[in-house]
């Protein structure tokens, strides 16, 4: 009998508007195409073969706008922030769709020294596919905001309650993009100096505890946004839990 062989494939993000799939079977392409059309309101502009990879070029800029373009287009795109929310939803939907077909994320990694780079996601195929899951995303936005995209309301409330225990002043609101809940914090955030960031890191541990109490785990932490010159970018967390999970059941990490 033939030796067992593991199959690997990658999904990489390029410039501000492209996804390239490498070594995925052609049968995956219709699923990815349908997922993009469903999750990204502006849809697909074109498809091409680039160096052996299948490339989807999307309308709009799901991975952000370059610094020079931002200045040139200032005022023309009032919905840049909205695009970023839809982009997080798009990535989460792609991860979920591939997961249902047995393509499980191994690592999200930065393998490029280009200034405007984002992550490459490497997948391993397994059969049978994992159990179906529920999904949501967490974006660390601006300098002091957390945006929960498609998260259950109880998870958002648990995080707000935990922040209250830390005596952190928070402002919460439903974002105009449906399914997005925004928490703005005072005294904590992503743009602080090193020592001040320790309190933020401590808060993130509280967040992870809240997730696990609800059966959720961080499946992927992805740099999916191009940074402005001189500025770093935070990752987006994509979280999942098995459908039908009940309180007290174990939480498994991928």
Lowest mean pLDDT among 12-26, 39-53, 122-136, 159-173: 159-173
Each residue of 201-236: pLDDT tens digit? Answer: 898 999 999 999 999 999 999 999 886 544 567 899
| pLDDT tens profile 49-75 | 999 999 999 999 999 875 554 444 444
Whole-angstrom Cα distance, residue 85 to residue 233?
A: 15
What percent of the chain has a predicted confidence (pLDDT) above 90? 65
| pLDDT at residue 79, rounded to an integer | 67
Q: Which two tokens stand for residue 170?
A: 């928070």
Output the average pLDDT for the chain.
88
- Cα–Cα dist 8/25, whole Å: 10
Segment 14-41 shows an average pLDDT of 97
Cβ atoms of 144 and 168 within 8 Å: the answer is: no
User: In angstroms, rounded to a whole number, what is the distance separating the alpha carbons of residues 252 and 12?
Assistant: 26
User: In the chain, helix, strand, coil percent, each to 5?
Assistant: 30, 30, 40
Q: What is the pLDDT of residue 116?
A: 66
Residue 4 — pLDDT band, cuts 50, 70, 90? Answer: low
**Residue 186: pLDDT band with limits 50, 70, 90:** confident
Average pLDDT over residues 16-22: 96
In this prediction, residues 130-154 reach a mean pLDDT of 94
| Predicted confidence (pLDDT) at residue 76 exceeds the cutoff of 50 | no
What is 131-193 written as a DSSP string?
A: PPEEEEEEEEETTTEEEEES--HHHHHHHHHHHHHTT--EEEEE-SSTTEEEEEESS--SSS-
Global confidence as pTM: 0.91
- Hey, which bits of 60-144 come out as E strands? 103-109, 120-125, 133-141
């Amino acid at each position: 009998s033939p030796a067992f062989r593991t199959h690997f494939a990658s999904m990489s993000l390029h410039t501000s508007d492209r996804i390239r799939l490498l070594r995925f079977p052609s049968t995956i392409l219709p699923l990815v195409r349908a997922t993009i059309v469903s999750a990204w309101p502006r849809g697909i502009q074109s498809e091409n073969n680039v160096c052996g990879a299948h490339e989807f070029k999307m309308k709009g800029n799901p991975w952000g706008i370059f610094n020079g373009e931002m200045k040139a287009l200032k005022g023309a795109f009032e919905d840049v922030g909205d695009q970023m929310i839809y982009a997080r939803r798009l990535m989460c939907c792609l991860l979920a769709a591939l997961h249902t077909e047995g393509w499980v994320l191994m690592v999200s990694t930065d393998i490029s020294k280009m200034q405007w780079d984002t992550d490459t996601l490497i997948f391993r195929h397994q059969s049978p596919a994992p159990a179906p899951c529920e999904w949501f995303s967490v974006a660390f936005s601006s300098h002091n905001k957390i945006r929960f995209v498609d998260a259950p309301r109880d998870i958002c409330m648990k995080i707000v309650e935990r922040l209250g225990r830390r005596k952190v002043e928070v402002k919460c609101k439903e974002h105009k993009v449906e399914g997005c809940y925004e928490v703005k914090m005072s005294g904590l955030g992503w743009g602080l100096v090193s020592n001040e960031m320790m309190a933020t890191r401590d808060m993130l541990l509280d967040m992870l505890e809240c997730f696990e109490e609800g059966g959720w785990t961080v499946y992927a932490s992805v740099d999916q946004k191009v940074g402005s010159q001189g500025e770093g970018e935070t990752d987006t967390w994509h979280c999942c839990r098995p459908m039908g999970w009940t309180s007290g059941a174990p939480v498994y990490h991928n």
